[in-house]
Amino acid sequence: MASYLLRRVGTSALVLLLASIVVFVGVRALPGDAALALAGEERDPAALEQIREKYGLNDPVPVQYVRYLGNSLQGDLGFSTRTGLDVTDIILERLPVTLELALLSLAVGLLIGIPAGILAALRRGSWVDNASNAFGLLGLSIPNFWLGLVLILLVSVQWGLLPASGYVPFLEDPLGNLQRMLLPAIVLGTGLSAVLMRQMRSAMLETMSADYVRTARSKGLSERSVVLVHALRNSLVTVVTVLGLQLGALISGAVITEQIFVIPGFGKLIVDGVFTRDYPVIQGVALVTVFGYVFVNLLVDLTYSFLNPRIRVSGGAS
């Protein structure tokens, strides 16, 4: 276990290091001159040269990279070229917004996906199963940003039930905050629930035909305890892994959902950064996103290997 843990952590660290290089090189490959973006209206060559010198843009690229890596590790992600604000501060301000959206979406996804998957598996072939399957397929096929537009159209424009966009911090106005986050969470959570439902259904079907479930039945246990104690618990292990893999989809979904509902979160930050050529912001957001994503996947892997010892042994070879 210890060697598996070490190897897994080592791989993640290597991936993060490589990813930091990719982000660094990628941001420098963006079209446009960083010094020009920093200079704003200034076009005087001497002034531009001064800016290059000040921000170390004249140094060799490897030197710039090492400096950037060192600063990043100390939590210094530089300053936004557009607003002049500290990128770390901006990220710390935007992160809770996206985390709230992600948690609410997760709740929506679990509340719909898990029960629907269980019911579909238990009542295989019934209308519940068919409806769940149809829902699962539609959830996979309907792009979430279009679902967002349709919901705004119906709920906000036609029926006037909820505000179409905007954001109020939870601490300032809890009700207003939830009113504005409800639609985005439904939009983002529906796709997740479709995936969870499909996984839960097939995991339940598999465990329900497993030997230990038959044994439990033959012992004369009630159907209720067979399902809840034996089948469900083992199916949930699969779902935990799927949830980790879905994190990427959740981040991707947040980018576009925040754009549509004008939520000042992480996703909107990176898209705005791309359009305003705010390199330090793009760089910082990409770095933090990759770090969080790799870290959570590491946690999921370790949890999974803890739950399922076979992974530790056979997974070690790859």
Partner 1 sequence: MTTAAAPMSQPGPALAVPPPRQRRSRRLVKRFFRRRLSVFGLVVLVLILALALAAPLFGDPGRNDFSAVLQGPSAAHPLGTDDLGRDTLARIAYGARVSMQAGVMATLLAMAVGVPLGLIAGYYRGWADLVISRLTDLLLAFPFLILAVGLAAILGPSLRNVVIALGISALPSFIRVTRGEVLGLREQDYVAGAVADGAGDTRILSRYILPNAISPLLVQATVTIPEAIIGESVLSFLGLGVQPPTPSWGTMLSAAQGFLSQAPLLAVWPGVAIALAALSFNLVGDGLRDTLDPKAER
Residues forming contacts to partner 1 in the complex (CB under 8 A) are 11, 14-16, 18-19, 22, 26, 29-31, 137-138, 140-143, 145-146, 149-150, 152-153, 157-158, 201-202, 205, 247-249, 251-253, 255-256, 259-260, 270-271, 274-275, 282, 286, 289-290, 293-294, 318
DSSP state at residue 43: -
Only one residue has tokens 């909107």, namely 268
If residue 163 lies in a helix (H) or strand (E), which one and from where to where?
none
In the complex, least distance from residue 7 CB atom to partner 1, rounded to whole angstroms: 12
Of the candidates 247, 242, 138, 250, the one whose C-alpha atom is nearest the C-alpha of residue 188 is 250
Q: How far apart are CA 273 and CA 191, in angstroms?
A: 26
Tokens of 46: 């001497």
Q: Output 218 or 318, the one with its CB closest to partner 1.
A: 318
Tokens at 179, concatenated:
């009113």
**Residue 103 CB, nearest distance to partner 1 (Å)?**
17
Matching residue, tokens 């409806």: 131
The span from the CA of 288 to the CA of 53, in Å, is: 27
- Measured from the CB atom, is 44 or 159 closer to partner 1? 159
CB of 130 to partner 1, least distance (A): 10
Question: 225 vs 295, which CB is nearer to partner 1?
Answer: 295
Tokens of 20: 């930091």
Q: For residues 170 and 291, which CB has a smaller minimum distance to partner 1 in the complex?
A: 291
Q: Do 101 and 188 touch, CB atoms closer than 8 A?
A: yes
Closer Cβ to partner 1, 141 or 218, answer by number: 141
149, 250, 260: which is closest to 193 by C-alpha? Answer: 250
Closest CB 49 distance from partner 1, rounded Å: 26
Q: How far is the CB of 68 from partner 1 (least distance, A)?
A: 17
